Chain A
């Protein structure tokens, strides 16, 4: 049933697809800045390289955010379900930690104006 061009096509596509894994990973650079938003407004902007603790005063109480080893995580939060804590640590550009009850969003961005990376062009 399969012709020779079929086999070449399938093998070629499999190789191209497998090769694209590292390429996409390469272009997907690590994030640079940590943006903290409260009720949709930016209340903090920190470098991802410097380790620090950031207390954020939200609607319910204090959400404690930690930047360490080029990653961000929520250490402690007054919200009922603790999804933000369970989300663990984020490190790549575009990733977010959200605590809806406390209205806190922690977002990682790349360099200025770098919403689109080379893969999508």
Chain B
């Protein structure tokens, strides 16, 4: 019973992250890589409630299903999403596991956002634009990433306590 409940929770987290990510594409942005990354709220919540493994699962499923839905499967958007997503999820999951007593979800979210930007721009450089000029934009992205990281972290902290309060099950970390 607990397993079913957990699976239902994880599936709804995946669904939420896909919806949030897709809707976010419609928010206009001055630069193509400047995004809020609201889907990260869900990944953080998944990590806080179920651990790194489920966090990774949510990220990977979100990128697969999200890009298939948006018609960007196996395009640059797919590889960027996958690389940045897995990189930042790994950092956040490990940080949550090892550094939980010190950092709140806000700090962990900022680490994830920072990683996400660096990984994505490195992928852009390695796979798509072989010009070192791409790194020109990195500080701008990183500054913006810190800001969105803080916002997402606050949102994730609220969502985590909310979801824990409204689910009777005791969640144990699977990782």
Contacts and interface: CB of A to CB of B under 8 A. Distances in A.
B33 interface: no
A94 B135 contact: no
Contact of B132 (A1, A6, A10, A120): A120
Interface in B61-116: 99, 102-104, 106-107, 110-111, 114
A45 interface: no
A120 B107 contact: no
Given A5-B102, A13-B110, A20 B132 contact: no
Contact of A1 (B111, B125, B133, B157): B157
A111 to B, nearest CB: 13
Interface string A68-98: 0000000000000000000000001011000
A3 B132 contact: no
Contacts of A95: 133
Given A116-B132, A120-B125, A6 B103 contact: yes
B143 interface: yes
Contact of A119 (B135, B142, B154): B135
A10 B139 contact: no
A30 to B, nearest CB: 13
Interface residues of B, number: 24
B143 A17 contact: yes
B166 interface: no
Contacts of A43: none
A85 B27 CA distance: 32
Contact of A24 (B102, B125, B139, B146): B139
Contact of B104 (A2, A21, A120): A2
6 contacts: A1-B104, A1-B106, A2-B107, A14-B143, A17-B139, A115-B132
Interface of A: 1-3, 5-6, 9-10, 13-14, 17-18, 20-21, 24, 28, 92, 94-95, 115-117, 119-120
